[in-house]
Amino acid sequence: MWASLRVLGLESTCDETAAAVVEADSMGRGKILSNAVLSQIAEHAAYGGVVPEIAARAHVEALDPLIRKALAEADCAIEDIDAIAAAGGPGLIGGVMVGLTMGKAIALAAGKPFVAVNHLEAHALTPRLTDNIDFPYLLLLVSGGHSQLVAVNGVGDYQRLGSTVDDAVGEAFDKAAKLLGLPYPGGPRVEQAALGGDPARFDFPRPMTGRRNPDFSFSGLKTAVRQEAERIAPLTNTDVADLCASFQAAAVDVLVDRCRAALRLLADAPKPPTALVAAGGVAANGAIRRALGRLCAEAGLKLALPPPGLCSDNGAMIAWAGLERFRLGLSDGMDFAARPRWPLDARQDPRWHGKA
Ligand code: KG4
Ligand code: ZN
C-alpha cells in the first residue's frame, strides 16, 4: 500500500511546452488530473524543423500560463501537490533549463521536494500510468531523437539492448516527408499520405533486419526514398502516397524485426518480459501499432500502447516518472544541472544516483 500522492510535472525538452498534475491512489494506480500541452509547431514550421533559440523563448512565454491551467484543471492549489517534477534532459539545453529552473523555483518557493526526470525514462514509464503494467517489460522507444530497445526491469533499472547507428526513426519520417514536400512534423503527414498509397510499389531496403543485436539504421532507407523520388520526378499525388506507403511498410518491418531480435536476447533472462511497450511520438503511428499487435499476439505477450496523445511529449509522463521516483524516496537537489545528453542506463551508474 502506498500513500496517495500528487505530482506536478513540467516538460520543455523539445518543441512542446507542457504541465500536468498526476495522482497515484493508495494502490499505486495512476490518474491524470490535468494535462496541458502547447505545441510550438507553428513557430518552427517555416524552418522545417525545431530552432533551439525559438523553442527556448517560446517555453519561457508558455510555461507560466500552462502551469496555472494545469493546476486549475486539476482543481489543485500548489499546497495540494506533494512534489514538483521537471524534465532535466536529454534535450535542447535552452528549453531544458527553462523547465528545470521553473520547477526548482516552484519547489523552493512552496517548500516542496523536487525531482529531475529523464525525458526518456518518462516515455519508458508511461505505460505503467496508462495500463498499470508490471516490470519487467520490453520497451520500444521511438521518437524524433531516439530509436531504442530497452529492457525495463524497474524504476531506474534499464538495460539498453539496441539503438540506432544513424537516424532515429522519427527523424527518418521527418526527413522523408521533407524531401517529398510534406510539411513539418513529417511523421503524421507520412502516415496520412500512406493511407491512400501502395506499400508494394517500391521495394525499399529493410536495414539491419536479420541481425542478432537489436540495433537500428534508418539513413539508408531515407536515401532510397530520395533516390526513387528523384528518379520518378516530377511527383504526382499518387507517387507521394506510394512512396510514403512503401517507406512506412519498410520502417514497420524493421521495427518488428528488431523487436523480435530483442525478445530472442531476453528469452534466456532470469525474468523474461511479459509485455511489449511502445512509447515516443512515432508510437502514435497506426501501422506500427497494428504490426506490434500482431507480433504480441504471435509471441504471447501483453501489448501496452499509450494513447497517441501520451506517446508524444507531454507533462503527464514527466509527472508520473517523478511520482514513481519520489515514492521510492528519490528526489534531487537545487544543484541539479540540465543535461543535454542523458542516456537511460546511466542510472545504473552509482555516480549518477541522486545528484547531478
Ligand atoms: O516523442 P516526440 O513527441 O518528441 C521527441 O522526439 O522526443 O516524437 C516526435 C517524433 C517526430 O519525429 C514525429 O514526426 C514523430 O514523432 N511522429 C510520428 C507520428 N506522430 C509523431 N511518426 C510517425 N507516425 C506518426 N503518426
Ligand atoms: Zn519525447
Residues near ion ligand 2 (Cβ under 5 Å): 143, 313
Q: Which atom of ligand 1 is nearest to the CA of 13?
A: 7
Place of cell 523536487: 114
Which is nearest to 218 in space by CA: 288, 162, 280, 169?
169
Peptide bond just before 185 cis, omega within 30 deg:
yes
Cα 40 to ligand 2 centre (Å): 14
Cα 187 to ligand 1 centre (Å): 6
pLDDT at 44 (0 to 100): 77
Cα 238 to ligand 2 centre (Å): 32
pLDDT digits (tens, 9 = 90+) for 30-48: 999 999 998 877 777 777 7
> Minimum mean pLDDT among 21-25, 129-133, 352-356: which range?
352-356
- Taking the CA of 170 as reference, the closest ligand is 1
pLDDT average, residue stretch 171-187: 94
Q: Which atom of ligand 1 is nearest to the CA of 123?
A: 1
Contacts of 329 (CB under 8 A, 6+ apart): none
Which is nearest to 244 in space by CA: 168, 171, 188, 292?
188
Cα 281 to ligand 2 centre (Å): 6
pLDDT digits (tens, 9 = 90+) for 245-270: 999 999 999 999 999 999 999 999 99
- Taking the CA of 255 as reference, the closest ligand is 1
- Taking the CA of 144 as reference, the closest ligand is 1
CA 182 and chain centroid, separation: 22
Cα 133 to ligand 2 centre (Å): 20
User: Is the per-residue pLDDT at 11 higher than 50?
Assistant: yes
> Minimum mean pLDDT among 60-64, 75-79, 124-128, 139-143: which range?
60-64
pLDDT at 2 (0 to 100): 64
pLDDT digits (tens, 9 = 90+) for 277-329: 999 999 999 999 999 999 999 999 999 999 999 998 999 999 999 999 999 99
- What are φ and ψ of residue 195, in 5° steps? -55, -35
pLDDT at 1 (0 to 100): 59
Give me the chain's average pLDDT, please: 93
pLDDT average, residue stretch 338-353: 70
Q: Whose CA is nearest to atom 3 of ligand 1?
A: 312
Cα 272 to ligand 2 centre (Å): 26
Which is nearest to 205 in space by CA: 244, 245, 256, 246?
246
The ligand 1 site (C-beta within 6 Å) comprises 14, 143-145, 170, 173-174, 185-188, 191, 280-282, 284-285, 312-313
